[in-house]
Amino acid sequence: MGTATVEPGIESRVHYLNAGYGIKSWLLTTDHKRIALLYLASITFFFFVGGAAAVLMRLNLITPQGAVFEPATYNKLFSMHGIIMVFLFMIPSIPAVLGNFLVPLMIGARDLAFPRLNLLSWYVFMVGGLFMLYSVIAGGVDTGWTFYTPLSTTYANTNVISAALGVFIAGFSSILTGLNFIVTIHKMRAPGLTWFRLPLFLWAIYSTSVIQILGTPVLAISIVLVALERLIHVGVFDPAVGGDPILFQHLFWFYSHPAVYIMILPSMGVMSELVTAFSKKRIFGYSFIAFSSVAIAAISFLVWGHHMFVAGQSVYAGIVFSALSFAVAIPSAIKVFNWTATLYKGSVSYQAPMLYAIGFIGLFTMGGLTGLFLATLAVDAHVHATYFVVGHFHYIMVGGAVMGYLGGIHYWWPKISGRMYPDGWARLSAAIIFIGFNLTFFPQYMLGYLGMPRRYAVYAPEFQVLNVMSSAGASILGVGYLIPLVYMVWSMRYGPVVGPNPWGAKGLEWQTPSPPPTENFEETPLVTEDAYAYGTEETQVA
């Protein structure tokens, strides 16, 4: 079915990609689908910048004395890696790309509630990103992405203020996107689309949006206070002038813990879509998964102190935060079991999206369970701030969230571009990524328990073997991420053209042509069945 020339169908039909040419039609668009692609380009760029920093870090860690960089440079690398990956890649990724593209399609609407606000959101994001790029070019920042005080307010002599402002500005993008999604999902569902008929991806996006709008403002003021203190040396956080450094940690983590759920919940939403589509089955336990999303969002605001067990917090506060942190693990476990059960007696196929889904389920389970180690007070007292933590969060964010993101991109790519990518290459990349990932990050659990601290430019010689393994894995992982960049771009021009529903999947987004017309649907659809209503009728590939 491959073709080297463009099929007449896709070009003669008007859809969102060709409904206007020229740079203005893209930079001034209010079409949520085009805005999603603007975000896709931006965050892919930031992903590779942050990824380059990671490659350089792992290169340096091949030898105990630091193979390549001075400690001062290494410190900037890990700070930029963290800041860029968290604020300019992970937090926007699925919501701003897949969410923007799919939310209106999945609810049968023509666009989001506030399309111009959506465009503003992207511009705000880009301004934040520019501040960050400025910080990199002007010499970097070396406080770590956590900006702990008084290091960041008083002692660091790198570009703290511009980096902090970059984070502050990018945060508004997150708030506006979340606001848009909440209003859209509440007010613009197609007739017949009740809350409990929504695809679970939307429950996940909705829960994420609630966290975004409630948590991000607190980060905003924390980071502004840091910038202010750095400017005028007033003592909010610096004890030498009467401030409280622990206050900063409370304010910072009050947002930054829920932030990690901003990063994982949307991927979990993607999982529900992938396991159903690729096993042609209704989801097992719909309402359990839906309520789990909401529960995770709610409990996520109550656990921030688990980052501060050894910070000088009282033992009693530690106990409360520990208990709540265990509680937040339960809904995630429920989701994993339900996805697994969905495969039972299904009709399972293994295209690339499903491979990413399987990878996610296993790696998220392992990584999530290592969270239990950290929630356990007696064990955290040993592994806090070691490579164990680094392993834990990379299993969840990379083995989990990024795999979910890639799975989603591959699944919805035919809808976004109207073409199919080459599945052979896609599966190969998924396998390379899986192998490279585990080789990179599993040794880090071991390094952590052995006592290797994180954020170390040089390390004790007894840690070398595991570090070399990890760096070798990173090189493989890097290759794995580069391959999709190539074939996805290739497919935009040369991939075989597809119809509205190449996967034979359920969902309103598959009821409209690929790529969709600007207004999404010729007529507002009427919804009469539950989500994932496989088995009620033949769902042919179309």
Partner 1 sequence: MHSSTALAEQFDDLEQQYEASSFGMWVFLATEIMFFGGLFTAYILFRNFYLPAFEAGSRLLDVRIGAFNTAVLLCSSLTMALAVRAAQLGKKGVLITFLLLTLLLGLTFVGVKLALEWRHDYLEGFVPGLNWTFNGPDSRHLELFFCFYFFLTGIHALHMVIGVGILTVLVIMAARGRFSPQRYNAVEVSGLYWHFVDIIWIFLFPLLYLIGGRY
Partner 2 sequence: MWQGFPIRPEQASTIARGVDHLYYFLTAVDLFFTALIFLTVFYFALRYRRRSEQEKATQVEGNLALEVVWSFIPLAIVVVIFLWGTSLYIRNSRPPEASTEIFVIGKQWMWKLQHPEGPMEINELHVPVGRPIKLTMTSEDVIHNFYVPAFRVQKDVVPGMYSSIWFQATKTGRYHFFCNQYCGTNHAVMGGYVIVMTPDDYEQWLSGGIRGETMVSAGAKLYEQLACITCHGTGKGPPFVDLFGRPVKLSDGTTVLADEAYIRESILYPSAKIVAGYQPIMPTYKGQVTEEQILQLLAYIKSLSSGEGKVTK
Interface residues toward partner 1, by CB under 8 A: 104, 109-115, 175, 179-180, 182-184, 186-188, 213-218, 220-222, 225, 228, 231-236, 241-244, 247, 251, 254, 519, 524
The minimum distance between CB 218 and partner 1, in angstroms, equals 4
Helix axes 160-187, 115-137, angle to 10 degrees: 160
Tell me the two tokens of residue 480.
């794995």
Partner whose footprint covers residue 318, from partner 1, partner 2, none (CB < 5 to 8 Å by kind): partner 2
Q: Distance between CA atoms of 140 and 133, rounded to whole angstroms?
A: 9
Q: Produce one character per residue of 57-80: b if its CB has 16 or more CB atoms within 10 Å, e if not.
A: bbbbbebeebeebeeebbbbbbbb
The minimum distance between CB 223 and partner 1, in angstroms, equals 11
Q: Distance between CA atoms of 372 and 328, rounded to whole angstroms?
A: 10
Cβ proximity to partner 2: between 213 and 341 the closer is 341
Partner whose footprint covers residue 341, from partner 1, partner 2, none (CB < 5 to 8 Å by kind): partner 2
Contact at 8 Å (CB) between 276 and 282? yes
The minimum distance between CB 399 and partner 1, in angstroms, equals 31
Contact at 8 Å (CB) between 105 and 205? no
The minimum distance between CB 229 and partner 1, in angstroms, equals 9
Q: Distance between CA atoms of 282 and 244, rounded to whole angstroms?
A: 52
Partner whose footprint covers residue 482, from partner 1, partner 2, none (CB < 5 to 8 Å by kind): none
HEC sequence for 17-29? CCCCCCHHHHHCC
The minimum distance between CB 241 and partner 1, in angstroms, equals 5
Report the half-sphere exposure of 250 (CA within 13 A, side-chain side). 11
Our CA angle for 491, 495, 496, nearest 5°, is 160
Cβ proximity to partner 1: between 216 and 292 the closer is 216
The minimum distance between CB 41 and partner 1, in angstroms, equals 24
The minimum distance between CB 327 and partner 2, in angstroms, equals 8
Cβ proximity to partner 1: between 124 and 358 the closer is 124
Name residue 427's amino acid: R
Cβ proximity to partner 1: between 216 and 438 the closer is 216
Cβ proximity to partner 2: between 93 and 292 the closer is 292
Cβ proximity to partner 1: between 300 and 386 the closer is 300
Cβ proximity to partner 1: between 247 and 492 the closer is 247
Partner whose footprint covers residue 186, from partner 1, partner 2, none (CB < 5 to 8 Å by kind): partner 1
The minimum distance between CB 226 and partner 2, in angstroms, equals 14
* Cα end-to-end distance, the chain, whole Å: 14
Q: Is the dihedral of CA 42, 47, 50, 52 positive or negative?
A: negative
Cβ proximity to partner 2: between 71 and 499 the closer is 71
DSSP for residue 516 = P
Partner whose footprint covers residue 468, from partner 2, partner 1, none (CB < 5 to 8 Å by kind): none
Q: Distance between CA atoms of 399 and 403, rounded to whole angstroms?
A: 6
Torsion of the alpha carbons at 200, 203, 209 and 211, rounded to the nearest 10:
-110
Q: Distance between CA atoms of 35 and 43, rounded to whole angstroms?
A: 12
Cβ proximity to partner 2: between 18 and 464 the closer is 464
Q: Distance between CA atoms of 436 and 443, rounded to whole angstroms?
A: 12
Could you tell me how far CA 396 lies from the centroid of its own chain?
Answer: 10
Q: Distance between CA atoms of 29 and 36, rounded to whole angstroms?
A: 11
Cβ proximity to partner 1: between 261 and 413 the closer is 261
Contact at 8 Å (CB) between 224 and 152? no
Partner whose footprint covers residue 187, from partner 2, partner 1, none (CB < 5 to 8 Å by kind): partner 1
The minimum distance between CB 529 and partner 2, in angstroms, equals 12
Cβ proximity to partner 1: between 129 and 243 the closer is 243
DSSP for residue 386 = B
* Closest listed residue to residue 497, CA positions, set 417, 409, 377: 417
The minimum distance between CB 161 and partner 1, in angstroms, equals 13
Contact at 8 Å (CB) between 532 and 282? yes
- Residue 104: asked if its preceding bond is cis (omega within 30°), the reply is no
Partner whose footprint covers residue 183, from partner 2, partner 1, none (CB < 5 to 8 Å by kind): partner 1
HEC sequence for 273-324? HHHHHCCCCCCCCHHHHHHHHHHHHHHHCCCHHHHCCCCCCCHHHHHHHHHH
The minimum distance between CB 392 and partner 2, in angstroms, equals 11
Cβ proximity to partner 1: between 180 and 370 the closer is 180
Could you tell me how far CA 194 lies from the centroid of its own chain?
Answer: 27
The minimum distance between CB 238 and partner 1, in angstroms, equals 10
Cβ proximity to partner 1: between 524 and 536 the closer is 524
The minimum distance between CB 208 and partner 2, in angstroms, equals 23
Q: The tokens 């495969």 sit on which residue?
A: 343
